[in-house]
Amino acid sequence: MSETAERFFESLPARAPDVLRGLVSGTLQIDLSTGDETDHWLVVMRPGTVEVSRHRGPADALWYSSADLFDRLVRGEAQGVAAVLRNESTFSGNVVLFLAFRRFFPDPPGTRDPREAAREQTGRLA
């Protein structure tokens, strides 16, 4: 398991109050593969809180990814939904958990909130 992924999972409980503000609740199992080896992470999400362990299910959803892709997601170099749509990773179960979990990943470098860009543009026009 990469140090990047380890640090990411360790950071989740402290970041959960800011990220999980909605009513999301459930368990997501994340399987990360490197060659013939697979590491398992169980993430229990509730509003404002996350519990992380190195166990397997039962889970409401299962996300399978290569460890390399996951590291790129953690660094903001890839996007989870795009990876699933390109079949670089697979997901099954409660999609709301996947959509909520992806909010823990950073935005790609140079990404800006479109609302901020619109406000700047409006200010220039005035």
Render pLDDT for 2-46 as a digit per residue (tens, 0 to 9). Answer: 788 999 999 999 999 999 988 889 999 999 999 899 999 999 999
What whole-number distance in Å separates Cα of residue 61 and Cα of residue 91? 7
Query: What's the rounded mean pLDDT across residues 111-120?
Result: 77
- The number of folded domains in the chain is 1
Q: Is 63 exposed, middle or buried (0-12, 13-18, 19+ CB in 10 A)?
A: buried
The range of the structural domain enclosing residue 14 comes to 3-125
Q: Is 75 exposed, middle or buried (0-12, 13-18, 19+ CB in 10 A)?
A: middle
Say if residue 58's pLDDT is above 60. yes
Q: Is 55 exposed, middle or buried (0-12, 13-18, 19+ CB in 10 A)?
A: exposed
What whole-number distance in Å separates Cα of residue 57 and Cα of residue 112? 36
**C-beta separation of 17 from 27 below 8 A:** no
- Return the CATH number at 109: 3.30.1050.10
